[in-house]
Amino acid sequence: MNNNDFFTANWNAPDNVGTLLTYRTGGVSGGVYASLNVGTHVNDNPHHVAENRKRVQQHIPHPIVWLNQIHSANVVIAKDWKNKIADADAIIDKTGTVACAVMTADCLPILLCDKQGSVVAAVHGGWRSLLGGIIANTINAMKSVPQDIIAYLGVGIGKTAFEVGGEVRELFIQSLPENQNAFIYHQENKYFANIYQIATNYLNQIGVSQIFCEQRCTFNEKDKFFSYRRDGTTGRMVSAIWLK
């Protein structure tokens, strides 16, 4: 794994906030998991996953706290889970002794910090988690003024590839009427959903206005990213954030 196998968030976070987001390259996994799969739950060779995680860890100064992601709205404090695995989809740190991380392969990785550089969070923004209120839960747990929060939306599935049924669209509009702007009719009872816009709407609802967003798509960039929607059985990237 070299510098071409990962990138950092393009945002105006304080200097003491570090980030790292991986591509699918730079690891040892083969086949459909080629090559930097960090997911232990996708039936890849566990020795390969362990080596891939080790390679990622070498570029991060604090121990990574991994989650067992269950598409929930559960949020945990990283320092409480240094040597165990939480069933959660968002993780927070204020200590500067651990790195928060989430895995994705179409879902939206959301990295958060405050402008004072005193707290960071990583959020697994799948549609179920977003609908369940994971953004609000995370920001409440950060105990920061929403106007001080800076958000970075990493690489997820793009707005021309994420097809959902009309019932999913209705749930999001019921949750927040502004979400109507995140759906485009495709075909009978099917819509393209803009997960970036959905996350932005929930952030705006809370009062977060400093939002930085990638303009890429996991589904359409097969050489760079894993995509569950595209491939079914596949690996996972990781998005990490920490206080230096």
Dihedral Cα 26, 30, 34, 40, nearest 10 deg: -90
Taking the C-alpha atoms of residue 5 and residue 238, their distance in angstroms, rounded to an integer, is 11
Please tell me the pTM assigned to this model.
0.98
Taking the C-alpha atoms of residue 213 and residue 76, their distance in angstroms, rounded to an integer, is 24
DSSP assignment string, 90-156: EEEESSSSSEEEEEESSSEEEEEEETTS--EEEEEE-HHHHHHTHHHHHHHHHT--GGGEEEEE---
- Give domain limits for the chain: 3-156+211-243
Give the pLDDT score at 241.
Answer: 99
Strand partners, 152: 111, 212
| 101-127 pLDDT, tens digit each | 999 999 999 999 999 999 999 999 999
- 127: tokens are 């549609």
Give the C-alpha distances (Å, rounded to integers) separating 205 from 119, 135, 139.
21, 10, 12
Taking the C-alpha atoms of residue 157 and residue 6, their distance in angstroms, rounded to an integer, is 18
CATH fit for domain 3-156+211-243, picks 3.30.300.30, 1.10.260.40, 3.90.1150.10, 3.60.140.10: 3.60.140.10
In order along its 244 residues, the chain shows pLDDT tens digits of 999 999 999 999 999 999 999 999 999 999 999 999 999 999 999 999 999 999 999 999 999 999 999 999 999 999 999 989 999 999 999 999 999 999 999 999 999 999 999 999 999 999 999 999 999 999 999 999 999 999 999 999 999 999 999 999 999 999 999 999 999 999 999 999 999 999 999 999 999 999 999 989 999 999 999 999 999 999 999 999 999 9
